[in-house]
Amino acid sequence: MARMSKFDLVIFDCDGVLLDSELISSGANAEAYTRLGYAITHNEIAARFTGMPDEAVDAELMSEIGKPLPPGFRDDIKRDVLAKYRTELQAVEGAATLLSSLKTAKCIASSSSPAKLALGLIETEMFELVYPNIFSTKLVERGKPHPDIFLYAAQKMGASPSRCMVVEDSVAGVTAAKSAGMTCVGFTGGSHCMDGHAERLYAAGADSVVDRLDGVNSFAE
């Protein structure tokens, strides 16, 4: 595993890496689909769709339901998630310390919408630690597991993909990072990570896996 000193840029996923938010999002999705008559648990949502854009979640589940989603369905979920962000959201332990202490250039590349990213980072007092280097898949044609957002972030930050390290908690994100030709450190410290998550990240191609963010920082030593 190469040390961080050999990288020009560290790219962080946001949900599940910096923000302990995946259970909020997966819970809101599970509740909405269950109300619609398609029973699914937050664990199933988390296992299948963590790291993927909302559009991909809706497209796959709509095909399983066999009918279009009602008007405003996704907008209702977004409002529910943002409301819970204001009352329940917590930063992942060590996130602010890592962002503050990291000497290598850094940015965020996330499947979340710009509004959701901004609110989450503001509520956890981390927005100014990464602003303006915050990139959403809304900026690219394809979301994770495609590499587009990571390649976009590297280009905007002036870094070669081979000299980028990505910190990711999802199979989709690890797949995207490796497809972009980047080194990837998997992270299993989020509250949504279940037994066997490290093995799933390794199977997706992660170069290393840590369960604490100070484990990421250790690569700089």
Predicted confidence pLDDT, tens digits, the chain (221 residues): 444 468 999 999 999 999 999 889 889 999 999 999 999 998 888 888 887 888 888 999 999 999 899 999 999 999 999 999 999 999 999 999 999 999 899 999 999 999 999 999 999 999 999 999 999 999 999 999 999 999 999 999 999 999 999 999 999 999 999 999 999 999 999 888 888 999 999 999 999 999 999 888 766 44
**Tokens 């963590």 belong to residue:** 50
Q: What is the DSSP string of 79-140?
A: HHHHHHHHHH--BPTTHHHHHHH--SEEEEEESS-HHHHHHHHHHTT-HHHHTT-EEEGGGS
Among 8, 15, 75, 207, the active-site one is: 15
4-21+89-220 CATH: 3.40.50.1000
Yes or no: say if 162 and 181 are a contact pair by the CB < 8 Å rule.
yes
Please say if 15 is a catalytic residue. Answer: yes
pLDDT at 3: 46
Q: Measured between alpha carbons, how far is 171 from 47 in angstroms, rounded to an integer?
A: 9
- CA-to-CA separations, 29 to 38, 73, 76, 150, in angstroms, rounded: 11, 10, 10, 25
pLDDT at 5: 61
pLDDT at 153: 98
Residue-range domain boundaries for the chain: 4-21+89-220, 22-88
22-88 CATH: 1.10.150.240
Among 13, 54, 58, 207, the active-site one is: 13
pLDDT at 219: 62
Q: Measured between alpha carbons, how far is 217 from 12 in angstroms, rounded to an integer?
A: 12
